[in-house]
């Protein structure tokens, strides 16, 4: 329960782009996250690390998180929701000027959308990813 409240505080800081303040919260909570939530928070933590001038740690965490997501993807019916959340995090990377990292995150989102069992939302998600990469 305490971790949930702490994560909410971290998310509020994340939304206000106070990455260095959100970083220790995400670091403390990472071992208590569900397998569904963990990739999202690890991607957020990677951006926090990057913005806190811990670029090597950030790149390593980002790479590991995206590899784990690809090697152990969620069940197909969770792919759209997770893909959309990953895509939105990728948009934040773009806004922060982390273009190469953002590209990797958005490509991972597109791979999740490709796994969707929903034949209308999966392609829509892929198109949104393509639009993000184009802009």
Q: What is the DSSP string of 93-129?
A: HHHTT-HHHHHHHHHHHHHHHHT-S-TTHHHHHHHHH
What is the band of 5 on the pLDDT scale with cuts at 50, 70, 90? confident
State if pTM tops 0.85.
yes
Q: Which domains does the chain have, with CATH numbers?
A: 2-134 (1.25.40.10)
- Nearest Cα to 1, choosing from 32, 31, 30? 32
pLDDT at 135: 82
The predicted structure's pLDDT at residue 2: 60
Summarised one tens digit per residue, pLDDT across range 30-53 is 888 888 889 999 999 999 999 999
- 79-121 pLDDT per residue, tens: 999 999 999 999 999 999 999 999 999 999 999 999 998 888 9
Q: What is the pLDDT of residue 34?
A: 86
């Amino acid at each position: 329960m305490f971790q949930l409240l702490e994560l909410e505080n971290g998310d509020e800081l994340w939304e206000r782009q106070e990455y260095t303040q959100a970083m220790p919260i995400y670091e403390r909570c990472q071992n208590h996250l569900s397998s569904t939530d963990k990739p999202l928070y690890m991607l957020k933590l990677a951006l926090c690390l990057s913005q806190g001038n811990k670029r090597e740690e950030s790149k390593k965490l980002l790479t590991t998180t995206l590899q784990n997501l690809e090697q152990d993807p969620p069940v197909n019916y969770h792919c759209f929701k997770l893909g959309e959340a990953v895509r939105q995090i990728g948009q934040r990377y773009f806004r922060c000027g982390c273009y190469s990292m953002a590209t990797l995150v958005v490509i991972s989102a597109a791979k999740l959308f490709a796994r969707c069992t929903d034949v209308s939302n999966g392609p829509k998600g892929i198109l949104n990813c393509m639009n993000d990469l184009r802009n």
